[in-house]
Amino acid sequence: MSEYTSSADEIAANDDLLTEILIRLPVKSLLRSKSVSKHWLSLITTTHFARRRNPDHSSVSGLFLYSSGRRLHPELNLIPLQNDGNPTDGNYCTTFPLGMKILSSCHGLLCCTSFSHTGNHQFHILNPTTKQFTSFPRPHGELKGLSLIFDPCRSPHYKVVCVSGDVSVLSIKPYRSEWRYQIEIYSSETRTWRPSGEPFIGDLNSHFLGGVYWNGAIHWFNTWGDSMYFHVEDERLGIMPMPPIPEGEGSGRLFRYYGESRSHLHLVEIYVATTQFRVYEMEGDYSGWFVKYHVDLHEVGIAFPEMMQRLLWDPMYYSFAILAIVREEEDDRSFMVLHVPGEIIRYNLVDKSFAKICDVAPENCDSNGMIEDALRYFWFHAFQYIETVSCI
């Protein structure tokens, strides 16, 4: 017995050996281990432990598909993308209380908003792996967008970047106005908001609600001119050039997807009804976009003929939506996640092979049972799920 106790004490006193054991535990056991002692808790919540347990912190295990439709309470479903299972279980599905809505995701955490009993918005950070949930105070001003920044391999803390704005009337006759915006940063380390820089004049065509974190910055895409980014560490604004809008497109830039994967920023624009299009990638120095992949969904349309229907609310498009572009360490395994009526499809971006991931129910039906919306999800409904056991 004394020999057993001595061995246990020796392991407990050796952080390297203890870490080797803990990183191999399943999530549920690991979370219970946090309550063993303050020493174990501090060990599990270090950035070193996060790197050891998940050395590939860009590996996307699944997609959370958020769709509110006409429901009072939004629904969140997890679609597994890997064959090795998910800590949250493949059939993960929950209904958030009080109409909670996802605003952004970053390396395993979700930034959400909900209505309180008083009718005011509340804001939250959710770790779906550990089921932890915490709230943070409302930012100041009229909210235009919230973006989450979190990298467990750099820091156990996260930040939230808020853009608020209001209109200033410059003259009545003739009427002239401009939008003035202010950036604020919330830190989980200090639990407070603070302004960053001076207010700036912004473009109404910038989509502050759809910020994408890449290259150390939040990127807000513009439907007409060049886009804008905010470098978080340097706290500076910059300009990101965009591809030219085709001549004759008076409605502006027609995004079908933009997002980040494995430190690559991607963009897809489609201006005509087609099954062939390009996936663009931004150069790391912002010098411009280049064509990374050529996509041809002709064979997908044959296998899933519902995809070739025109969207009821926008006949210029076929019935498919790009939910995610997922880069893998080996590029020949990189893939695109597509939503066609009734199904979620995985399409290999290199060899053009494809397979169905799962079925999905239609979004809405009218009183006669006819489908009103051919598609339930679009790229702004999809959020990457990356496992993390970091505390929030």
CB 62 within 8 A of CB 385: yes
Q: CA–CA separation, 172 vs 167, rounded Å?
A: 13
Q: Which CATH topology does 45-385 take?
A: Neuraminidase (2.120.10)
Residue 349's pLDDT is 97
Would you kindly state where each structural domain of the chain is located, as residue ranges? 1-44, 45-385
Please report which residue ranges of the chain form alpha helices under DSSP H: 2-13, 15-22, 27-33, 38-44, 47-53, 298-303
pLDDT attached to residue 38: 81
Q: Mention every residue, 6+ apart, whose C-beta is less than 8 A from residue 368.
A: none
**In this structure, are residues 384 and 129 in contact, taking their beta carbons and an 8 Å threshold?**
no
Evaluate whether 88 touches 110 at the Cβ level (below 8 Å).
no
Under a CB-based contact definition with an 8 Å cutoff, are residues 322 and 305 in contact? no
Please, are residues 382 and 337 in contact by the beta-carbon 8 Å criterion?
Answer: yes
Q: From CA 209, how far away is CA 242, in angstroms rounded?
A: 18
- Predicted confidence at residue 335, as pLDDT, reads 97
Question: Could you give the CA distance from residue 205 to residue 208 in angstroms, rounded to a whole number?
Answer: 9
**For position 392, what pLDDT does the model report?**
79
pLDDT of residue 28: 73
- Please, what are the averages of pLDDT over each run of 10 residues along the chain (392 residues)? 57 76 78 79 76 73 76 70 56 50 89 74 86 87 91 86 82 69 95 93 82 94 90 95 83 89 95 93 96 97 93 84 95 96 95 94 54 74 86 77
pTM for the model stands at 0.85
pLDDT of residue 44: 78
Burial class (CB in 10 A: 0-12, 13-18, 19+), 227: buried
